[in-house]
Every structure is written in C-alpha cells, then in structure tokens.
Chain A
Amino acid sequence: MRKIFAIFWKDTFVRFTSPLEWLFFIILPIFFTVILGAGTGPSDDQRVKLYVVDLAKTSLSENLFSSLTESNSVHPVLIELNVAVSEFDERKVSTVLIIPTTFSQENVINNRAELELRQQPNNMNALIAQQAVQAVLSRVSSAVDIANASVAKAESIEGFSFTSNDARQVYYNQALEQAQTLMNEAPVRMTEVEADTADPVSYDPRANSSAGQLITWVFIPLIGLSAMFAFERQKGTLRRLLTTPTSKAVFLGGTIFGQVVTALVQMLALVLFGIYVMKLNWGHSLAALAAMLVSSALAAAALGTMLGTFVKTEGQANGLSIMLGMVMAMMGGCWYPIELFPQTVRVIVKALPTSWAMQGMLDIVLRGQGLSGVWLEALVLLGFALVFFVIGIIRFKYE
C-alpha cells in the first residue's frame, strides 16, 4: 500500500509541477461551464428574425413596428439600412422590411403608402416573415381599406354621385370612423387552450453544462492515462521497475489510483462550483453523487488504461485521448441534450460510458433523484470499468 501511495504522490507532484496544469484542471472547465451554461439550450425566443429599417420614423411606422413585436412568429429588430442590407446580402437574415420616408397616415389614406419587403429566395423563414407582416398590415390598414371600399362602392352605384369633394370626404370620414369603431368592438372569435403536453426534453442549460463539462474535463485527462503509460514505456522507466520488487498490480494500482483520486478532487471542485456559484442542486443525495463520481472516474481511468496498451507513443496517446474524450463527450450528450439526437443515435450512444455518466449526473442535478435513481447508471459504469481494466491488464506490457 505504501508503494501505491508513493506512486500516487510522484504522479501528482509531476503533474502539478507546471502551473499550467491548473488551466486544464479547474480554470478551463469552469470557463466552459459558465459559457455553455449561459449560451446553450432551447432559446427563449426562437421566432424568425425580421430586420426592420424605419426610415419614416412616424407614429404610424412606430405603430407598425410595435404591432410586429407582438407577433408570435417573427422577432422584429430595428436596424440601420446599411447594416440590414449588408447582412441581408451576406445571407445572415432571411427578410428585411424597409419602411420608406413616405410612409405616413396621409399616404395610407390616399392609397399611396408603400413598404418594401426583401426576401431570400425560396426561404421558409422569409415566407413566415411575409405572413406575419401581411397579418400586421391587414390589422393596421383594414379600417382605411373598408372606408376606401365604401366610397368606391357608392361611386359605382348608378344614379349616385357625390355633390362635391367635401361631401365625398365626409362620406369617407364617416365610413372610416364607423369601421374603426366596429373593429374595436369586434368580438373575440378565437380561443386558445394550452395542452398539458410533457416536454420531451428535460433541459436546464446550467445543470446540463455543469454535468456535461464535469464529465468532459475529467474523461479527457483520465483517458490520457494512456499517455502516461506510453511515456514511461518510451523512456524505459517501466523496464527499470522490473529490477525493483514492484509487481504489475502495484504499479498499475498506484498509477490508476493517483489519477482517479485527482479526478475525484477535480470533480468535487466542479460540483462545489455548481452548488455555490451556479446554485445547482448537486448535494441533495451524497450517496448518489459519490456513486456516480467514483464509477465515472473508474470507467474513464479504465478506458485510459486499455488505450495505453494500444498506442505506441506519448504523442499518439495525447492526440487520441483528446479526440476520443471530445467525441465521446459530445456523443454522450455532455454538450447538447441527448433528447435532441435522432432516435437511432440515442440507442447507439448507449455503448459509450459518457452517455451513462451524463444520464446519472442529470438524474442527480436536474431530476433530483437519489441512489435508487442512479444505481443502474453507476452499475453500468462499473461494468465498463471492469471490462476495460481486464483488457488493459491482460494486454499491459513493460516494454
């Protein structure tokens, strides 16, 4: 046991000799947790972005913009003409509504008001924006349209004519007033009922980010155990161990134990950050948390041990561990909610330990479950650990 601790102290000392290690141990994981916690997840506002350029700046144009902001399908953004045109040309926005300087109440009454709607070709978002703009225009101009139609109908009736322009204007004004009154008094003909549909995606950006980044940043260095084995093999220090009374079990035990303990300390630090800074519910079941942290760390360390028997150089192992760690984290749902993956992929990723680790961590921090809720995930992770360790130990060679 003394030898195992000696190896553990040596590895920890070597690892933290460089202050840069802290960058990957705690600084970057926290940075990523905070950024992803703030910037991911289903957006609060996923309406189609509609750029609105208001060159008129009249009460009517402001009223039009205000009506657009109430739309359920478009998110209007007031913007300068040159910026809107530039971004439209760069295909960053599907639709731009330009309200020209001539857009005034007077011109609406005289049927001379015009708007320009620029759309990307055959673009679904542009079609949605067009529907929304037309709906709003219909509301804004309907009373005027009715008054105009009223005058036109009167003039079309045989034997009827206005005695003067003033009489025509009075007729128009009366029709407009009556239309406005009736529009305001129009009964509500539509009712909304919200169904009690269960959300298929259980997601809290902060909880998902905290759990996901914890797994990502712990799995990568633990898979990187392979680089330690490759390094020692390359340098011949493993062969030198043969001359000492140290068994394979002691060497592997010491190395793995050291890395697992370091990983547990790192995970605890990230959990504490989650509890005290991000106000997440990590600590309601210490038994569940301990089961998940230990089983996840063991599975990752076992994977690193196994990988270490397949790679030849430290450089190869470093590259592979970063790549594998990132791919497994992503596919395991540590970056994006697994519920959004296609069904087939969701089944396939069950073959990854990261997927079970993430599920277990979310059971704790997001779904508030205890040991009874995470025992299966912990057991599967221990199963992964067992298989990987067995392969690693069987294949392990000093040279």
Chain B
Amino acid sequence: MRKLFLIALKDLKLAFRDRAALTLMLLAPFALTIGMGLITGRFSGNTNTGLSDIPLVLVNEDGGSLGNALVEMMQSKDLESLLEPQVMTDLPAAYALVDEDKTAAVIYIPAGFSDSVIPASGQSTPEEPVQIELYLNPTRPNSVGVIKTILEQFMSQVEVGRIGGQVVVTQLLTSGAIDISQAEAVGRSMGEKQANEAGQSSSIKLNRVTNSGEEVKFDILAYLAPGMALMFLMFTVSYGGRSMLVEQAAGTLPRMLTSPTTTAQVLGGKVFGIFLTGAAQMLILIFGTTLLFRLDWGAPFAVFVLVLAAALGATGWGIFLTALLKTPGQASAIGSAVMLIFGILGGSFINVEMMPDWIQFISRITPNRWGLDGFTTLALGGGFANILTPIIGLLAMAAILFVISVVIFSRRGIGRL
C-alpha cells in the first residue's frame, strides 16, 4: 500500500511542477470562468438569469374603479419583485418606450372602461365593450408572457364579478327572494365579492407547499465555474494517462516492474496519482473561486464528496483512454479532443437542457454532465441527499471504465503498453 501511495504522490508532485500542464489545469479554467463571468455580467451585477423587475408602463385614462384597481394591482406588494410598473399619462411617449426596447409593454386603460363593464346607475351596457390595450414588445416574449398572464387574471376576475352579480340577481329575482328595487344593490355587492374572490377559486383549493430551506439566489458563476473546472479535469486525467505512456516509452515503467513492485501496485499507484491530481485541481479551483469571486458552492461536505466522485469518474476515462492508446502523442491529441467533446456535450459551454434530447441522452456518458448536475443542485441549496444520483452515476462510470481498462491492460500487459 505504501508503494502505491508513493507512486501516486510522485505523479501528483510531477503534475504540479509542470508549468505547461498547470496552464491548462488551473490557469485556463480560471481565465475562462472570469471571461464567462464578464460576458454574463456576473461581475457587474448585470446577470439576466431569471425574470424579475419586468419594466411595464401603465396609462390609465379610465379613472374608474376598475382602471384604478388594475393600476393598484400592478403596483401591489405581491408583485413588486416581479414587476417594475411606471404610471404615465402621455400615451405616445409610453408607446415610444416599447418601440425603443426600453420597456416590455404598455397597458393602456382607455376612458370608459369601468363603465363599460359596470354601467353607472341608470345607464346601459355599451354595445361595443371598451377594451384595454396591451402594447407589447415582441423582443421580450417572456416578460410579455408574464404581464399577459397577470392581466388575463385581472380580466377574468372582472368578468367573474360581472357575471356573478348578474347570475345571482337573476336567480334571486326569478325565485322571488328579492324584488326589483333590491336588485342593483345585491348585484353590486355580489359582483364585488365575486371579483375579489375570483383569484382564489373556492371550488378548487390550491394547497401551496413550499420546499424547506432558505431563499437561494442562483449565481450564474455557480454553473460556469464547475463547468470549466470539470472540462479541464478531463485534461488533467488525460495528462495523467499520458504520463504512463511517457514512462513506458522512456523505459521507466518496465524498470519499475523489475523492482519488487507488483503490476497491481504500479497500475494502482498511477491510477491513484491521476485521481489525486484531478481531485487536487478541482479543490484548488473551488477554493480559488470561493476566495476570489465569493462563490458559494453549497454544503462543504457534499461538495467535497462530489469532487471525489467527479475525479474518480474522470479518472476512469483517463485510464480507459490510456489502455486504448499507444503513444504519448496520441494521448495528448485524443485527450484534448475528448476534453473538448465532453465539455460541449456535458454542458460546460452551453446548458445541456437547451440541446436536443439525443444529445442530452449521450451527455450522460460524460463526468461533466453528472458533476454539473450535482454542483448546480448544491449551489441551489440542495444537500448531500439530493446529489446521490450524480454521485452514483459517477461511481458507476468509474467502476465500469476501470473494469474495462483492467481487462485491456491484462491482455496486453502494463509494461508493454
């Protein structure tokens, strides 16, 4: 066992003394993470990772009860984090804000809207209803979608109120429960009651269950940093595999086997060395990004276990490639290619969920995908129990690749790589 550790530590030291390797092991992931942080606005506090503070302009020319209620609802405390409404009186100026892409939409409430829904005493409902206009910005479909949903809910509330009042009064009059003189008062009170309750359906109860835990604002860097770290982890493991082939070509590996060291100890030591280097690289990157960018990776113990699992899964690939390849040059070239392919398939460049289903399926062969799943869950407040699937996935990947590699090595002999 001591020999195994010695071989592993020797490889770990060699890797961290190689300045060229360090460029890709540590400098490149840092540089790309910083670059991604810059272009996503993470460092300027300008990230656009979700919908909030949607800019909206309200022009209320109605001035009636419903027009005012709509403005109040849009400005309510419930929606203050979602919407950023601005009340204006100049309609052309409001339209111009949409045209210039400075706001997501204008809600224009024309004069007479309230009266067209609930006619004033002694007046009848107009033949053509007065319509609220939603002047929308087509370049912001999500923001517009949210505004539309809220507006539709309000309109539905208004309609339910109107119809509710009408139905109740008609039924009561037909049954003789009230007379015509009471109809208007009953209709108005019922309409208001129905309108107020329409948002909360009485016949279908919506039980809201909030997940445990505190509010977690997702930091885009919590996706980008592990993405880059995992991609360059693949470089590290292929670099480790390459070192085995270099030793074979230089004759130090066969020489090692002439000493009282078994093949299993040599192979185990090399594999353990690759694993240690990969894990150390990940931990340094995590420590560095935590310190430099104040990035919260999540529960420390879970992060540590996930790092070990990711390093093990990647080591499996490193050793598998070494078993298949014959020269250090091949290992360098194929290793770099695999690093890039796994990077793009595993979500290091773009979110895998944006890709077609078949790519998402294939991405499961990469440690990047499992690792990123786990790191994202942890960054969003998940705990150890929530990352069991990625951990099991990575361990299974490592086990399968180790078994295949051992079979290949045993066929051709480690000294005759």
Contacts and interface: CB of A to CB of B under 8 A. Distances in A.
Interface of A: 18, 20-21, 23-24, 28, 31-32, 35-36, 38-40, 43, 46-48, 71-73, 86, 88-92, 108-109, 111, 113-125, 127-128, 130-135, 137-142, 144-150, 153-154, 157, 160, 171, 174-175, 178-179, 182-183, 186-201, 313, 315-316, 318-320, 322-323, 326-327, 330-331, 335-336, 340-342, 344-345
Contacts of B21: 315, 319
B50 A31 contact: no
Contact of A91 (B51, B159, B215, B382): B382
A320 B23 CA distance: 7
Nearest to A335: B349
Contacts of A186: 159, 163
B181 interface: no
B341 interface: yes
B68 to A, nearest CB: 16
Interface of B: 18-21, 23-24, 27-28, 31-32, 35-36, 38-39, 41, 44, 46, 48, 50-52, 81-82, 95, 98-101, 113, 116-117, 129-139, 141-142, 144-146, 148-153, 155-160, 163-164, 166-168, 170-172, 174-175, 177-178, 186, 190, 193-194, 197-216, 329-330, 333-334, 336-337, 340-341, 344-345, 349-350, 354-356, 359, 373, 376-377, 380-382, 385-387, 389
Nearest to B197: A145
A344 B44 CA distance: 9
A108 B142 contact: no
Contact of B204 (A127, A140, A322, A326): A140
Contacts of A31: 341
A117 B149 contact: no
Given A24-B337, A35-B344, A114-B207, A182 B167 contact: yes
B172 A121 contact: no
A135 B142 CA distance: 17
Given A39-B359, A90-B382, A125-B51, A135 B149 contact: yes
Contacts of A91: 216, 376-377, 380-382, 386
A96 B160 CA distance: 27
A46 B142 CA distance: 6
A122 B337 CA distance: 42
A20 B24 CA distance: 20
A20 B36 CA distance: 30
B79 to A, nearest CB: 9
A329 to B, nearest CB: 10
A190 B131 contact: yes
7 contacts: A40-B354, A134-B201, A190-B132, A190-B134, A192-B134, A331-B35, A335-B350
Given A40-B350, A72-B145, A323-B28, A127 B138 contact: no
B350 A330 contact: no
Contacts of B38: 331, 341-342, 345
A73 B205 contact: no
Contacts of A174: 171, 174
Contact of B198 (A116, A138, A315): A138
B175 A322 contact: no
Contacts of B145: 47, 71-73
Given A72-B144, A113-B205, A123-B215, 8 more contacts: A72-B149, A142-B159, A148-B203, A178-B167, A189-B113, A193-B135, A195-B99, A323-B28
